[in-house]
Amino acid sequence: MPPTALCVGYSGGLDSSVLLHALAASAPARAQGLRAWHVHHGLHPQADAWAAHCAETCARLGLEFSVSRVSVALGGGDGPEAAARRARHTAFAAGLGEGETLLLAHHRDDQAETVLLRLLRGSGPDGLAAMRAWRDCGRGRLWRPLLNLPRTALQAYAATHRLQWIDDPSNDEHGYDRNFLRHRVLPVLRERWPQADAAFATSANLNAQAVELLESEDATALAEVRSLDPQALSRSSLRALPMARRARVLRRWIATLGLPPLPAEGVAQIESQLLDARADAEAEFTWHDAVVRAWRDLLHAERQRPALAEDWSAAWDGHDALPLPDGGEWRLQGVDRFAAPCLAHARRGGERIALPGRSHRHALKQVLQSLGVPPWERRRLPLLSTLDGELLAAGDLLLSARMDAWLRERGARLLWT
């Protein structure tokens, strides 16, 4: 058992009740600060009673207990099961302590269901590796210690120790894909192939081993196509990769940026529309509040952010950070405030700037183009001017000769985030 603080994801159902009871009986586990964590989804009329049951059980066992109430975003197209799982894992990732290990009670039957679901969705090796025993989770790690045990073993343990647990009636609703497999499909498979669950688990392990090899090569390929900006890849370098490798590299890149997983449709759109788009076409693919854009030789990926409204402006003296409409901010560091009040505003077109070391002013649009600033970045770039209209700065990308000299004399700087 790893020498880290332990936290059990405790729903109150049979599986997590067995896991929590077994760990509560372990002196080493208690010495590692064992605690229980219940996620309240609010989807069932008995949800409050379930949380109360979990609290009472933990009180009897003498364990710390906490509840996280989550909002489940229904109607996203993935069904209530997937939406609840996303909300639950988001809560786990956000609330897990530094270096803490979250233990979940998934078992071999769960793994068999997951493999079948992934097969029916046309998953490749990554999906068919199904649930991993270990993975990163927020600031800690997630561990599934029961993954090699059949559910019958957990049922036998619960009967031996006379455990009480919650039976969620939704687990018997065959309208859910996982429940349909559990109650209608897997029993028939086990009649013909009694070792079906073990076979599915073996297949998952073999796929996981294959994925480990592929991921090593993916990491190398990603490093080769990355630009100096981690949010951008070279399109010409990507085109030099085999198509299958390119798809894996794209998914890995998106994952490293912390963006939602790139769907198969996204890979197809990048292949057909973005990789060979004209340098100035601004072709893009959007999904789940994320976007990949093609511009010049690069693919850019990021969260979608709005352009600044053309009529946006705000007085700013530099003393406090200036919040921007897109959620960013402007900050003056190293000095208390500007020499005179300034005006922060959106681009309106036609702006000119006097750059350091230049004898005349340049069109801001041309300067930004020469610096390779993408069009969408230009549209949300805040400008800073004197009250009489002299352009002093564009974000923290460009400073006028006057602003540059003023900041240098004071050891100060502008930061745009």
Half-sphere exposure of 387 (CA within 13 A, CB side): 8
Neighbours of 93 (CB within 10 A): 15
Show pLDDT as tens, one digit a residue, over the chain (417 residues).
Answer: 456 899 999 999 999 999 999 999 999 999 999 999 999 998 888 999 999 999 999 999 999 999 999 988 876 556 777 788 888 999 999 999 999 999 999 999 999 999 999 999 888 899 999 999 999 999 999 999 999 999 999 999 999 999 999 998 888 888 889 999 999 999 999 999 999 999 999 999 999 999 999 999 999 999 999 998 999 999 999 999 999 999 999 999 999 999 999 998 999 999 999 999 998 888 999 998 999 999 999 999 999 988 899 999 999 999 999 999 988 899 999 999 999 999 999 998 899 999 998 878 999 999 998 998 898 989 889 999 999 999 999 999 999 999 999 999 999 999 998
Q: Which tens digit of pLDDT belongs to each residue from 244-259?
A: 999 999 999 999 999 9
Residue 14 known to bind ligand: yes
Same domain? 119 vs 61: yes
Task: Report the distance separating Cα 309 and Cα 326, nearest Å.
Answer: 10
Q: Which tens digit of pLDDT belongs to each residue from 72-87?
A: 887 655 677 778 888 8
Q: Which tens digit of pLDDT belongs to each residue from 133-192?
A: 999 999 999 999 999 999 999 999 999 999 999 998 888 888 889 999 999 999 999 999
Q: Which residues constitute the domain of residue 283?
A: 226-303
On whether residue 214 sits in a domain, the answer given is no
Q: Residue 66 pairs with which residues in a beta bridge? A: 37
Same domain? 297 vs 411: no
Same domain? 27 vs 92: yes
Same domain? 61 vs 111: yes
Residue 13 known to bind ligand: yes
Report the domain count for the chain: 3
Task: Report the distance separating Cα 71 and Cα 333, nearest Å.
Answer: 38
Same domain? 180 vs 241: no
Task: Report the distance separating Cα 378 and Cα 50, nearest Å.
Answer: 52
Between strands 391-394 and 313-316, the pairing is: unpaired
Question: Are 218 and 247 spatial neighbours (Cβ–Cβ below 8 Å)?
Answer: no
Q: Which tens digit of pLDDT belongs to each residue from 337-359?
A: 999 999 999 998 899 999 998 87
On whether residue 215 sits in a domain, the answer given is no
CATH number of the domain at 266, please.
1.20.59.20
Residue 79 known to bind ligand: no
Which H/E stretch holds residue 315? strand 313-316
CATH number of the domain at 111, please.
3.40.50.620
On whether residue 290 sits in a domain, the answer given is yes
Same domain? 173 vs 31: yes
Instruction: Please give the radius of gyration of the chain, using alpha carbons only, rounded to the nearest integer.
Output: 27
Residue 15 known to bind ligand: yes
Same domain? 295 vs 354: no
Under DSSP, the state recorded for 342 is E
On whether residue 308 sits in a domain, the answer given is no
Half-sphere exposure of 191 (CA within 13 A, CB side): 5
Same domain? 16 vs 89: yes
